[in-house]
Amino acid sequence: MNAQRPPKPLTRPATPKDVTATWLTKALQSSGVIPPDVEVASLRHEPLGGGTGVFGVLARLVVDYTETTTTAPTRMVLKIPTAAPENKNVALALGIYVRETYFFNELAARTPVPSVRCLYADMDIAAGEFVLIIDEVAHLTVGDQLNGATVPQLERTLKEIAKWHAAWWEHPDLDTFDWLPTNDSPIQLAVVPGIMRGAMPVIEADWIPRLGEEAVALGRDVADKFEEIMARSSAAARTLCHGDVRLENVFFNDDASDIMFIDFQMLVKGTPAQDVQYLLSSSMDPEVWDKEGMRLLELYHNELVAQGVTNYSWDTFWSEFQLQCLWAMVAPASTVGGFDMGDDKGKQLAERWMMRGWYLPIAANAREVL
């Protein structure tokens, strides 16, 4: 009797149009989303979120099945690598696609916050290929990072992130994940300081009237010491961080009593202050910080303690928050000084992020820890 050959691996799509009904049938059957006797009868592609992010291309897939009684999802989101060569090269170097795949395969069930369900994931990083299919979050609305977070959205996100950080606090498994970087991992050191320094000529030429000389001077000094800042940030690493907690990666209902997280490409072992600072610097307008910022930090720290983390003082948290204010200046800098931000909304978001992300280090007096 001849041995049965294993099924041929699916070709990974390079564009959304490469996802056909036949391809999607095989993908969903292989992951157990639909049984072998159910197939995708028809498939429609729709643009989603402008279609292009910094590191990925997104599309909505609207599906009909041959079996109308199936409970399989009929609306899902496709995520594949960006077609922008410079962005893709950075993504591959930083292991961005690897991190998200491993999160869904290994960590999502162990992380006690609501996260989107993964329906199919596959990658061949040596070939620069990655494909992810996730549920569409239809019952909630994505946060509006362009216009900024509401205070209830910030409060709910900080409480959930505190639960995440507490669940992974000083967990021994973190050191066994060879795919999980710290902020001073060799590849981070090889890529990120160059992003910061490469952005500075653009910022010095174009942004002083908007940011002010004090902020740009701080950015100049941060760029000079970026490797040192990365090492100090890494030395404070005690938990698993989402790494990209901003409003475009969080969904809410109207009063922010319900929440869901997406996009796990930037997972990192870090200080919990990293996620907190990143949320505020990316998604909170300066006037909200001036009125609510310190209260929100206290809310987060109190929740972390309530979740069982008793060896992390307020003073340590505040000092690490200031340090992360310096480290995180690179994120908005990259959007105005290097990465292709896609459509007009992406460019507007980059400008708004820059105004927030370079205001907070001044407001928090982060220079005192430089």
Q: Can you give the CATH number for the domain in which 228 is found? A: 3.90.1200.10
Instruction: Give residue-wise pLDDT tens across range 228-270.
Output: 999 999 999 999 999 999 999 999 999 999 999 999 999 999 9
Min mean pLDDT across 101-110, 150-159, 305-314, 342-351 is at: 342-351
> pLDDT band for position 154 (50/70/90)?
very high
> pLDDT band for position 5 (50/70/90)?
very low
Q: What was the pLDDT predicted at 177?
A: 95
**b/e 249-263 (16+ beta carbons within 10 angstroms → b):** bbbbeeebeebbbbb
Same domain, 179 and 279: yes
Show which of 135, 156, 181 is a domain's final residue. 135
Same domain, 128 and 189: no
For residue 96, the SS3 value is helix
Contact 248, 282 (CB under 8 A): no
Q: Is the pLDDT of residue 340 over 80?
A: no
Q: Is the pLDDT of residue 170 over 50?
A: yes
Q: What was the pLDDT predicted at 191?
A: 85
Taking the C-alpha atoms of residue 99 and residue 108, their distance in angstroms, rounded to an integer, is 12
Same domain, 94 and 217: no
| HSE-CB for 362 with a 13 A CA cutoff | 17
The answer to whether the Cα torsion of 267, 325, 251, 255 is positive or negative is: positive
Residue 179 CB contacts under 8 Å (≥ 6 apart), including other chains: 95, 98, 99, 102
Same domain, 251 and 278: yes
**How many residues in total does the chain contain?**
370
Residue 3 lies in a domain: no
Amino acid at 345: K
Q: What was the pLDDT predicted at 128?
A: 84
Same domain, 164 and 102: no
Same domain, 205 and 272: yes
Contact 188, 181 (CB under 8 A): yes
Same domain, 103 and 148: no
Same domain, 233 and 341: yes
pTM of the predicted structure, to 2 decimals: 0.90
Same domain, 303 and 286: yes
Q: What was the pLDDT predicted at 246?
A: 95
Residue 7 lies in a domain: no
> pLDDT band for position 69 (50/70/90)?
confident
Dihedral, CA of residue 125, residue 187, residue 316 and residue 261, to nearest 10: -20
